[in-house]
């Protein structure tokens, strides 16, 4: 990481110093095979149109050559739809291009705090299934496959609904397979959406621990992440039980 980036991280930790407001995450733990760097999450409370507080979770992946390269950004909130979160992400990436080659994370956070109500006021752009699939299949590079192994699911019904929702929102297809004690998730889709799913899987509270408290998925393995040949079949996301 550049000296600029390290100084920015120190400044962000000082600015967002309340418990849970700023958290650094190990990049290798989230499995980014092509690049190293730093991943961290900032949580902020923002006023929306009716002056209600929205808890916004912003996940930034700073590659090693940041700020010469734009960060990857993921946005989530329990109070916004996935489409609204994607709108926020797109607007933040637009703003990030204006700050290329200079530390930008704090500027982006300040910008969304001031403009969130205007961003989510705009109707989400809904693409038809035909348009989405055409875009996803336009080049061989656009279709990627991800195979995950889960150690367990304690809150299975909720976990399955969450996986299905994320896959649907991100236009991913695949299989959720239960083979005895083995749990596998196979996903296909646009490479950026595959990475977005992986970020959600690792940073959201999708299961419960032994005491019943909500927890993040910590026992997950990426078995494979690779480009899919264009002629290979894309699956609908379904549940598949295989008895041993």
Dump pLDDT digits (tens) for 105-157.
999 999 998 888 888 864 333 333 333 333 333 443 458 888 898 888 888 88
What is the model's pLDDT at position 135? 38
239 or 50, which is more confident? 50
Query: Does some domain include residue 126?
Result: no
What is the model's pLDDT at position 73? 92
pLDDT tens per residue across span 186-222: 898 888 888 888 888 878 888 888 888 888 877 788 8
Q: Please give the model's pTM, rounded to 2 decimal places.
A: 0.55
Are residues 224 and 114 part of one domain?
no
Q: What is the CATH number of the domain that holds 180?
A: 3.30.70.100
Range of the structural domain that residue 186 is part of: 144-243
Are residues 158 and 89 part of one domain?
no
Are residues 8 and 113 part of one domain?
yes
**Residues 191, 197: Cα–Cα separation, whole Å:** 10
Q: Which two tokens stand for residue 126?
A: 């809904």
Query: Does some domain include residue 134?
Result: no
Diameter over CA atoms, the chain: 55
pLDDT bin (cut points 50, 70, 90) of residue 50 is low
Average pLDDT over every residue of 23-49: 68
Query: Does some domain include residue 113?
Result: yes
What is the model's pLDDT at position 221? 85
User: Does 85 have pLDDT greater than 60?
Assistant: yes
Are residues 204 and 150 part of one domain?
yes
Considering only CA atoms, which of 210, 103, 95, 199 is closest in space to residue 151? 210
Query: Does some domain include residue 88?
Result: yes
What is the model's pLDDT at position 49? 59
Query: Does some domain include residue 81?
Result: yes
What is the model's pLDDT at position 53? 81
pLDDT bin (cut points 50, 70, 90) of residue 233 is low
Count structural domains, the chain. 2
Are residues 156 and 110 part of one domain?
no
Q: What burial class does residue 120 get, using C-beta atoms within 10 Å of its C-beta: 0-12 exposed, 13-18 middle, 19+ buried?
A: buried
Are residues 163 and 62 part of one domain?
no
Q: What is the CATH number of the domain that holds 29?
A: 3.10.110.10
């Amino acid at each position: 990481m550049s000296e600029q980036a390290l100084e920015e991280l120190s400044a962000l930790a000082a600015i967002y110093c309340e418990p849970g407001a700023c958290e650094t995450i190990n990049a290798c733990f989230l499995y980014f095979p092509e690049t190293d760097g730093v991943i961290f999450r900032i949580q902020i409370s923002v006023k929306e149109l009716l002056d209600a507080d929205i808890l916004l979770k912003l996940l930034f992946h700073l590659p090693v050559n940041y700020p010469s390269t734009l960060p990857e950004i993921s946005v989530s909130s329990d109070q916004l739809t996935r489409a609204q979160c994607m709108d926020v992400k797109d607007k933040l990436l637009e703003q990030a291009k204006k700050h290329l080659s200079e530390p930008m994370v704090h500027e982006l956070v300040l910008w969304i705090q001031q403009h969130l109500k205007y961003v989510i006021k705009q109707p989400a752009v809904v693409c038809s299934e035909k348009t989405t699939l055409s875009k996803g299949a336009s080049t061989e590079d656009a279709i990627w496959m991800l195979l995950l192994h889960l150690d367990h699911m304690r809150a299975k019904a909720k976990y399955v609904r969450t996986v299905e929702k994320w896959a649907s929102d991100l236009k991913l297809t695949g299989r959720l397979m239960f083979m005895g004690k083995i749990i596998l998730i196979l996903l296909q889709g646009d490479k950026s959406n595959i990475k977005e799913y992986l970020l959600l899987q690792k940073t959201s509270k999708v299961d419960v621990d032994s005491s019943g408290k909500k927890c993040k998925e910590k026992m997950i393995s990426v078995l494979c992440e690779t480009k899919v040949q264009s002629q290979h079949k894309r699956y609908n996301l379904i549940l598949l039980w295989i008895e041993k």
